[in-house]
Amino acid sequence: MLSMDTDTPHPEENSGASVRLDALRKSFGFVRAVNDVSLDIPAGSFVSFLGPSGSGKTTTLNLLAGFITPEAGEILFDGAPISHQPTHKRGIGMVFQSYALFPHMTVFDNVAFPLKMRSEMEKSQMRKRVAETLAMVQLAGYQDRYPRQLSGGQQQRVAMARALVAQPRLLLMDEPLGALDKKLRDQMQIEIKNIHRRVGSTFVYVTHDQNEALTMSDFIVVMRDGAIAQAGTPQELYDFPADEFVADFLGGANLIKGRIVSGDAKRQQIVLDDGQNVVAPTTGMPLQAGTTASLFLRPEGVSLVPLERSKISAEVVEIVYMGSAFRVIASVSQQVISAMVSREDIAGLQIGSKVGFNWEEERSRVFASEAGAP
Amino acid sequence: METYKITFSMNILVVCVLFFLLFPVLVVVAISFSSAEFLSFPPPGLSLRWYQEIFSSLDWVASFWITIKVGALTAFFSVLVGVPAAFAIIRHNFFGKDMFNALILSALITPPIIKAMSIYLFYVQLGLNNTILGLALAHTVSGIPFVVINTAASLKNFDLNLERAACVHGAHPMQAILKITLPVVSAGVMVGAVFAFMQSAQELIVSIFVLGTVDRPLSVKLWEGVQVSTDPSIAAASTVLIGVALLSFIMVALIKRRDGSLAP
Amino acid sequence: MNALNDNHPPHASDKVGPRWRIFPKTDIKLFLLLAPITLLIVVFLIIPIVIMFNKAVSGDEILAAYIEVLRSPVYINVFMTTLKIATMTTVLTLILGYPVAFALRFGKPKYRAIVLMLIVLPYWLDFIVRSYSWMILLGRRGIVNEALLWLGLVDRPVKLLYSLGSVVTGMVQIMLPMMILTLFAAMLRIDAKLMDAANIHGANRWKSFTRVFMPLSLPGVYGASLLVFVTALGFYITPALLGGPSETMISQSMLLLASELLDWKTASIAGTLLLFVTTILVLIYNRLFSIDRLWGGE
């Protein structure tokens, strides 16, 4: 059972539900879309499900929403099993990538819809609540417009307002920003995060964009082939990924392939094709000598040093100006290593020169390597 | 898409074809306003007497109302059975779909004379001959494909996420269909209904058999008139029909424009 | 960017969407949806037809009765005439309609909209009205005769009506919109880029048309022609109004037999034959075109 550290921020009203996935399984024909997934989501947290298409994240979301039922396992909201409860009784809200606004209704009717369906609210109360929710998404006064009169970003906000208006204990979001341009996306990310802080519901956010996940989430769940590859806080996943896949998926990573020479549960030694040796901490079980493995390094953690003090030496191939820093790309043993360094560090550096790279050993890792030539 | 420029000669052909299609009809309209007592074109003078004649004729007016009643019933029944069928076709994979397609096909393609003869004989047993209901039911068979096709087209373009969104936010699946799906799909349904109505209003052969004696719809009355009369009163009746057709055409165009999801 | 239109989701058996989870419930729902329409068509179309054919000819007589009709010169004549007129109508509408559909296909949007509207409009008009208009035009005092007289080409009004020519003219006019629209729809499915590719590789306009576009449009041509032909077979109004005795088509014969001569037996036999031919043609059409595409089946 994967459980995330309950270091959640505490909003004023902790009205979110805790969500537990217990050995959840769902297949389509012969494809195991969700394969024995277990997870504990703390109440009121913002959790992103991250992964490539086919990883099972959307299926998990659909299971949470109730559009499909699991063939095994259980989903619990605040301890109560709900996986066979029909969708409309689950007390949740959802934002779709295509907004799914009702085209024949005004913004007001769209947003008021959950209130009309779920509660016996009085008209004046309803109007007030809708107005408040619209204000929260920066759309005060838009009640009488129709969805077709709104821009993409505005439609998305209406969709959010509709999902939030009934103060659901769980809010699901299915790649809601996918259809927006970059600038709008960045802006909406901040707004969504703000709304989360204000409202306190549990947010489950599905995306394939790792930047989005890193920016917004309290916790990230990386999924692959129907199972959880790793779950934890953004820092945990970024600094200490569990395997090659997670490392590569979240942000740029150096993954230099070589062979295991020796090692134990704490450290392993890896040798590159050109004979250079490096020692790095083990991930999981120690690997047998001779197995292909990768050395994991984040470019920001790598610095340029004189050759004598270096762990690895390589020949500079490219120096890329990134605005606030420089990326130095060097070739080692027919692979590439990249480091993010400052202006001072690249003084005098030239393409073709041999340089030394160094890093804190604790920030590196040895991973078992997936199939594929270096 | 501009691969081929439409040549001048091609354009000429198009204009000729359009002329061929539309000019005769304009002739009918022109003659209906003729002051002469015989059919000649161009008409010697203009007058509204033929319109007066048919509007004051009890016979013509009665036929008009019969056509309206039969058409309305036809549209109603067609929608009643056609909309659920469209849902079944689009949303379910069911065993025997081929058989079902064949059924709809047969409604579409059976020659009118065969429909007319067989249903007449059938109705003799049931006593449905010479009734408005009987004719409407017979016309419904031909009207159904229009409703099914147009509703299915609308449904196909319908974003299922709208229903999901409704359910997530508290609507029972049935409520979702009633409050969200049907209103959004209504354009297709309405277009189908209009087609079903027009099809019934213009239908002749079945009407001759089932409701062709004392009470008869406009198409039968028009048919009789065309064979017998030599004065422009028929032209006036025809023009009225043309006007009705134009109105329905405009109505459909407006529905489609407002909805935007149906292809022309 | 739209969400996937997932009436049929990517994975085989499951459907994502609000649904009834228990199997019997699904079946009941399906039954309720399909029962009314099935009932209606079966009761008001299929059963009457079956009854009529059964009643008309029974048992041993069947074969003899059919042979009698098939050998009778009168009916052979009518069948042949029907086929002849239907064929002529189909061919002429194809010749006239193909270029128009082509012009629609490649015309600019505004052009297309206007022309489409002008073609669809007559589609809405009553067959009687349209045939009647030809009566006015082609009659002795009709505009064509007036023009001929005025031009001095003839001394007396020519008999234009009640001939093969007038029937075919009327039928072509009525069937043209159907031909044009069906061809147009089929042409829309041909990717214009294929012609561009041909052009780039050296084919001139005429060649890229004959070698690329035309062959690709053939299925559409067959489909549209079948549709027009089948409809033309069953025509009644136009030949009755605009044709003479030697242009009698089968629907007219059947109507005569049934309503005036009260010879339901012969009428039914003629009807079976007509239905038989129609069905075969439609099955061929279905093979080529899968008619259930019309209402969204796959």
pTM over 0.90: no
| pLDDT for the residue numbered C44 | 93
Q: How far is A332 from chain C (nearest CA, A)?
A: 42
pLDDT tens-digit profile of C202-229? 777 777 778 788 888 888 888 888 889 9
C239 sits in the region (left: phi over 0; alpha: psi -120 to 50; else beta) called alpha
Provide the pLDDT confidence category of residue C5 given band limits of 50, 70 and 90.
very low
Neighbouring-strand partners of residue A20:
A40, A76
DSSP B158: S
CB contact under 8 A, A102 and B162: yes
Omega into B42 within 30° of 0, i.e. cis?
yes
What secondary structure letter does DSSP report for C57?
A: S
Does B235 contact chain A (CB < 8 Å)? no
- The sheet with strand A80-81 has its strands ordered as A2-3, A31-41, A19-28, A72-77, A80-81
| Nearest residue of chain B to residue A118 (CA atoms) | B170
* Partner-chain residue, chosen from A87, A98, A102, that has the shortest CB–CB distance to B167: A87
Structure confidence by residue, pLDDT tens digits, C43-62: 999 999 888 877 766 666 67
CA distance A57 to chain B (A): 17
Q: What is the pLDDT of residues B29-80, one digit of tens each?
A: 888 887 777 766 677 778 888 888 888 888 888 998 999 999 999 999 999 9
CB A69 to CB C13 under 8 A? no
CB < 8 Å to C8, chain A: none
Query: Is the pLDDT assigned to residue C69 strictly greater than 70?
Result: yes
pLDDT of residue C96: 92
Please give the CATH number for the structural domain made up of C62-295.
1.10.3720.10
Best of C30, C199, C295, C298 to disrupt the B interface (most B CBs within 10 Å) is: C295
CB-CB contact of B168 with A88 (8 Å): yes
**Higher pLDDT pick, B227 / A27:** A27
Comparing alpha-carbon positions, the chain B residue that sits nearest to A172 is: B168
Residues of B in contact with A96 (CB under 8 A): 161, 164-165
Say yes or no for a CB contact (<8 Å) between B13 and C51: no
Residues C78-127 pLDDT 10s: 888 899 999 999 999 999 999 999 888 888 888 888 888 888 888 778 78
Task: Tell me the residues of chain C between 34 and 73 that have a Cβ less than 8 Å away from chain B.
Answer: 34, 36-38, 40-42, 44-49, 51-52, 55
Q: Distance, in angstroms, between C29 CA and closest chain A CA? A: 17
- C1 contacts in A (CB within 8 Å)? 97-98, 178-179
What pLDDT is attached to residue C192?
77
Is B186 part of the contact surface with chain C (CB cutoff 8 Å)? no
Is the per-residue pLDDT at C164 higher than 60? yes
Give the C window 113-152 contacts with B, CB below 8 Å: 115-122, 124-137, 139, 141-143, 146
Amino acid symbol at B94: F
Residues in A touching B170 (Cβ below 8 Å): 88, 113-114, 117-118, 166
Across the strands, what pairs with A278? Answer: A270
CB distance from A151 to chain C under 8 Å? Answer: no
Q: Which of A90, A100, A162 lies at the smallest CB-CB distance from B161? A: A100
What is the structure's pLDDT at C56? 66
Structure tokens given for A69: 């039922």
* C32-45 CB burial, b ≥16 within 10 A, e <16: ebbebbbebbeebb
Question: Which chains touch A (3+ CB pairs under 8 A)?
Answer: B, C
Residues 75-114 of B with CB under 8 A from C: 77, 80-82, 84-94, 97, 100-101, 103-107, 109-114
What distance in Å separates residue B3's CA from the closest CA in chain C? Answer: 7
Q: What is the pLDDT of residue B260?
A: 56
Residue of C nearest to B9 (CA): C99
Q: Is domain B58-262 classified as CATH 1.10.10.1100?
A: no
Shortest alpha-carbon distance between residue B27 and chain C (Å):
7
State residue C211's pLDDT score. 79
Contact by Cβ (8 Å): A137, A158 = yes
Give the domain ranges of chain B: 58-262
In this prediction, residue B233 carries a pLDDT of 81
Instruction: Please tell me the distance from the alpha carbon of residue A273 to that of residue C27, in angstroms, as a whole number.
Output: 64
Asked if B170 and A114 come within 8 Å (Cβ–Cβ), the reply is yes
| Per-domain residue ranges of chain C | 62-295
Q: Which of A140, A124, A120 is nearest to A132 (CA)?
A: A140
Pick from A66, A86, A93: CB nearest B169: A93
pLDDT, residue C13, reads 34
Is it the case that residue C286 has pLDDT exceeding 80? no
**ipTM (interface predicted TM):** 0.82
Using CA atoms, how far apart are residues B217 and B222, in angstroms rounded to an integer?
9
Q: What is the mean pLDDT of residues B225-239?
A: 80
Give the contacts of A196 (CB within 8 A, at least 6 positions apart).
A46, A203
Output the pLDDT for position C59: 63
Tell me, what's the pLDDT at C290?
A: 62
Give the pLDDT of chain A (374 residues) as one tens digit per residue. 455 544 444 444 457 889 999 999 999 888 888 988 999 999 999 999 999 988 889 999 999 999 999 999 999 999 899 988 999 999 899 999 889 999 999 999 999 999 999 888 889 999 999 999 999 999 999 999 999 999 988 999 999 999 999 999 999 999 999 888 888 889 999 999 999 999 989 999 999 888 899 989 999 999 999 999 999 999 999 988 888 889 888 878 888 888 888 888 888 888 888 888 888 888 888 888 888 888 898 988 888 888 888 888 888 888 899 888 888 888 888 888 888 888 888 887 888 888 889 998 888 888 888 755 44
Tell me how crowded residue C279 is: count the other CB atoms within 10 A of its CB: 16
Name chain A contacts of C12, Cβ cutoff 8 Å.
28-29
Using alpha carbons, list the distances in angstroms from residue A84 to A66, A265, A356, C218. Answer: 8, 44, 59, 53
What angle separates helix B218-228 from helix B58-91, to the nearest 10 degrees?
130
First to last CA, chain B: 18
Expressed in percent and rounded to 5, the helix, strand and coil fractions of chain A are: 30, 35, 40
B vs C: CB pairs below 8 A:
300
pLDDT score, position C296:
44
B262 reaches A (C-beta below 8 A): no
Interface of A with B in 44-73 (CB under 8 A): 65-67
Q: What is the CA radius of gyration of chain C?
A: 25
Q: Give pLDDT tens digits for B143-199.
A: 999 999 889 888 888 889 999 999 999 999 999 999 999 998 888 898 899 899 988
What confidence tens digit (pLDDT) does each residue in C28-37 have?
Answer: 888 888 889 9
| Bridge partner residues of A340 (DSSP) | A327
Closest CA–CA distance from residue C7 to any residue of chain A (Å): 14
Is the Cα torsion angle B209, B211, B213, B216 positive or negative in sign?
Answer: negative
Residues of A within 8 A of C16 (CB-CB) are 62, 67-68
Q: Quick check: C125 and B245 CB within 8 A? A: yes
